Amino acid sequence: MEHMDHSTQMRDLGLRVTRGRLAVLEVLDQLPHSSAETVVAKVHEDLPDVSIQSVYNVLNDLTEQGILRRFTPPHSPALYETRVNDNHHHAICTSCGRIEDVECAVGHAPCLTPSDDHGMVIQIADVLYQGICEDCRKSGAA
Q: DSSP states of 20-41 as a string?
A: HHHHHHHHHHHSSSEEHHHHHH
Pairing of β 68-71 and β 79-82 = antiparallel
Eight-state DSSP code of residue 116: G
**In terms of CB distance, is 73 or 87 closer to DNA?**
73
Asked if 12 and 39 touch (Cβ cutoff 8 Å), the reply is no
When CB distances are held under 5 to 8 angstroms depending on the partner's kind, the choice from DNA, a copy of itself, none that residue 120 binds is a copy of itself
Among residues 52 and 84, whose Cβ is nearest to DNA?
Answer: 52
Considering the complex, what minimum distance in angstroms separates the CB of residue 86 from DNA? 24
Q: Does 139 bind a copy of itself (CB under 8 A)?
A: no
Binding site for DNA (CB under 7 A): 11, 15-21, 35-37, 49-54, 56-58, 60-61, 72, 75, 77-78
| List 30, 46, 137, 139, residue binding a copy of itself (CB under 8 A) | 137
User: Does 5 contact a copy of itself by CB under 8 A?
Assistant: no
Report in angstroms the alpha-carbon separations of 130 from 18, 46, 93, 101, 107: 37, 35, 6, 12, 20
**Where along the sequence are the contacts to a copy of itself (CB under 8 A)?**
70-74, 78, 91, 93-94, 100, 102-106, 110-113, 116-135, 137
